Amino acid sequence: MLCLNGVNNLINYISIIFGCLSLILITWWFHYRKHMLLTNRLKKSDEALLTEPGLKIESVFQAPPGSVIYPYIIVNEDTTRVPEEI
């Protein structure tokens, strides 16, 4: 009886460890899968992403490939005008 009690405890500990590792693996897999699907949709320029209820979109830029977007630069007539030579 004493020997079976130790085996049962060992089986319980192994089951708990296996269950915890399985939950971590499943959570990681869903996170990885969601990001891979999002990356693929961005590569395909899926316009449905703009109205997707589960995604938060702050702003959308339309620029040709290779363009660089600089944040916090104010573009107005004074900053784009070439200085006149006197």
Residue 33 lies in a domain: yes
Quick one: pLDDT at residue 2? 44
Backbone angles phi, psi at 71, to 5 degrees: -75, 150
List the domain range (segments joined by +) for residue 68.
2-80
Residue 13 lies in a domain: yes
Count of structural domains, the chain: 1
Assess if residue 86 is contained within a domain. no
- 85 occurs within a structural domain: no
Q: What is the pLDDT of residue 1?
A: 43
pLDDT in tens for each of the 86 residues of the chain? 445 677 788 888 999 999 999 999 999 999 999 899 988 988 888 888 777 777 776 666 666 777 776 666 666 666 666 667 66
